[in-house]
Chain A
Amino acid sequence: MYEIIFYLTSAIAVLAASAILIAPHPVHAALYLVISLLALALLFFLLGAPLLAALQVMIYAGAIMVLFLFLIMVMNLRPGQNQSAPLASGWKGPAFLALILLLELLWILNRFQITATNNITAIEPKAVGLALFGPYLLVVEVAAVLLLAALVAALYLSRKERS
């Protein structure tokens, strides 16, 4: 049962992502992305990361997608400017390259003796919290600076020209 859910969810995540590749309209693409992200959240949960599953839903599916949709909305206010292009004409080369990369990665990942499995045990939010504010405390603090920097940058870029 567990396995079925896992592989099914994986299939959804991958298929939804592939749909972005060919979706004609940005809104459709964004919706496919949401599906993929939600499926991923479920995968996280199945892999014993309940906290991350929740965060995935909140941050990605919630916040980030809203940003995307908002932007799409803003742009769509001006009709005629924003036709999405079909697949670019020279698509075969890049697609082939991506395929090679995939094969390489798969080859590499299946070459190593790391296939052993243990029973899935959930790593509780508490453990994550302890790690976050124990050894990773400095990174947390620094990440705050990163957010501040991004905020300043975004604020500057988004304001009207200084008179």
Chain B
Amino acid sequence: MIPLSHSLTIAALLFVLGLAIILLRRELLFILMGLEVMFNGVALTAIAAGQYWNNPDGQVLTIFLMVVTAAELAVALILVWLAFEHLKTTQVDMLTRLKDDTKGGAP
């Protein structure tokens, strides 16, 4: 049988992989995919724990996770598309209009 810690380790791997995708890839679509991978890591944690405790709460948690992800992703994707439409880019590097003016003003 599978020890819980093994499932959790795989889940943690997925979570960190998703995080790495977000940190390393500079394109919005990749970042969204990274988010999905992170969420899947969480889902695996919840389901493995649900099996361990033998109650359905873990699965319920995962279902809500899917719902929330879907809702969030829908809006986020549209925003990405809007960025593409209006700003003609999906590169993170190009989305840096909002930032501190480091020239520094009068003291």
- The interface of chain A, by Cβ under 8 A from chain B, is 2-3, 6, 10, 13-14, 17-18, 20-21, 26, 29-30, 33, 36-37, 40, 43-44, 46-49, 51-52, 55-56, 59-60, 63-64, 67-68, 71-72, 74-75, 81-82, 84-85, 87-88, 91, 94-95, 97-99, 101-102, 105-106, 109-110, 114-121, 123, 127-128, 130-132, 136, 139, 143, 146-147, 149-151, 153-154, 157-158
Chain A residues with CB below 8 A from B60, complex form: 128, 131-132, 136
A147 x B81 contact (CB < 8 A): no
- The interface of chain B, by Cβ under 8 A from chain A, is 1-5, 7-10, 12-21, 23-27, 29-30, 32-34, 36-37, 40, 43-44, 47-48, 50-52, 54-60, 62-64, 66-75, 77-82, 84, 88-91, 93
B14 x A71 contact (CB < 8 A): no
B52 x A123 contact (CB < 8 A): no
The main secondary structure of chain B at its interface with chain A is helix
Q: Which residue of A lies closest to B29 (CB)?
A: A26
B43 x A40 contact (CB < 8 A): yes
The main secondary structure of chain A at its interface with chain B is helix
A101 x B30 contact (CB < 8 A): no
The total of interchain contacts (Cβ-Cβ below 8 angstroms) comes to 224
Nearest CB on B from A121, distance (A) = 7
A60 x B36 contact (CB < 8 A): yes
Q: Beyond the given A29-B30, A121-B51, please list 5 additional residue pairs across the A-B interface where CB-CB is below 8 A.
A: A3-B1, A49-B50, A71-B77, A99-B16, A157-B79
